[in-house]
Amino acid sequence: MDMRVVNKEIRVGEIRVIAVASSSLLLVGDTEIVTLSSIMDAPPEAVTVGPIVPLAAISSGT
Amino acid sequence: MKRTSVVQDMFVSSVQFASTVFVGDNLVVDPRTRAIAVQRERADFLGDEGDFDKYPLFRRPIPQPGLNTTVNLSIVNESPYISVSRVKAVSLSTSAVLQIGSTAIIDAESRIKQFRQLLSADVPKFPAGADAVARAFALSPVVGEQVFCDEEGGAGPAADDPDP
């Protein structure tokens, strides 16, 4: 496949963003390869009602 | 041949948790995020809760799309500049990047596991407004005013001259 791109001119007045978060990018510039991956897991079993059970702490190795 | 980025003004209020404001060109940007997000109706936390190794989410491979076709790409830039008058960002958080400049390869990954722990099922069904919704889900209020209000107190953005 042959692909030809002609960039004319890009001029932007103002960019306003509230937040850039969790491995996101706001880029003013050129790039060649962009790969973005996201896993967001909020399954039904992760919503609990009742006495709050704390999450297990990191178990120490010894 | 990449273009030169020209930005006149940049305002950033907060840069947190391994985030970067970068002015210049770069070869590779590969941000990684792992987060366990716990929202509790009563905000009592032990301080050492959470172990990424306990959840397979943080280990599973993420499938990438394959390149099945060879692409011969040619790019013609009629203007040598990418021009932006002003960039305003309230916050960057958790491996985020704000870059003025070019970067060849971007490879970003975010893995977030959410827990919501309610004390009882008695959640208001018809919240009075945005504040009530935020309380119900223990979210932080969005600080938008400093982004969306002009310093001179005008009604909205003026027709800026974007010439570099």
Element (H, E) at B134: helix B130-136
| Mean pLDDT in residue range A39-50 | 85
Which sign, positive or negative, has the C-alpha torsion B124, B130, B132, B138? positive
- Band (A44; pLDDT cuts 50, 70, 90): confident
Q: How far is B123 from chain A (nearest CA, A)?
A: 11
Average pLDDT over residues B50-73: 91
CB contact under 8 A, B5 and A28: yes
Is B1's pLDDT higher than 80?
A: no
pLDDT averaged over every residue in chain B: 81
Partners of residue B108 in chain A, C-beta under 8 Å: 23-25, 35-37
At residue B150, the pLDDT reads: 39
Task: Pick the more confident residue, A37 or B121.
Answer: A37
Please tell me which of B56-60, B115-119, B137-141, B142-146 the model is most confident about, judged by mean pLDDT.
B56-60
**What's the mean pLDDT in B76-105?**
96
Yes or no: say if B10 and A28 are a contact pair by the CB < 8 Å rule.
Answer: no
C-beta atoms of A23 and B109 within 8 A: yes
Per-position DSSP letters for B102-126, written without gaps between them: -EEEEEEEEEEEEEEEES-S---SS
pLDDT at position A3 over 50: yes
Which A residues in the span 33-52 are in contact with B, Cβ-Cβ below 8 Å? Answer: 33-42, 46-52
pLDDT at B22: 95
Contacts of B142 in chain A (CB under 8 A): 18
Judged against a pLDDT cut of 80, whether residue B80 lies above it is answered with yes
> Model's pTM, two decimal places?
0.74
Count of H helices and E strands in chain A?
A: 0, 5
Q: Nearest residue on chain B to A21, judged by CA atoms?
A: B93
Q: What share of chain A is helix, strand, coil (3-state, %, to 5)?
A: 5, 60, 35
Closest alpha carbon within chain A to B114: A42
- With a cut of 90, say whether residue B52 has pLDDT above it: yes
Q: In the prediction, which pLDDT does B122 show?
A: 63
pLDDT of A34 strictly over 50:
yes
pLDDT at B139 over 50: no
Nearest-angstrom CA–CA distance, B132 and B136: 6
A44, B51, B75 from B55: Cα distances, Å: 15, 8, 44
DSSP state, residue A57: B
- ipTM of the complex in this document: 0.84
CA distances from B45 to A60, B34, B90, B125, B164 (A): 20, 19, 27, 27, 50
3-state SS, B22-63, equals: EECCEEEECCEEEEEEEEECCCCCCCCECCHHHCHHHCCCCC
Q: Does residue B119 register a pLDDT over 70?
A: yes
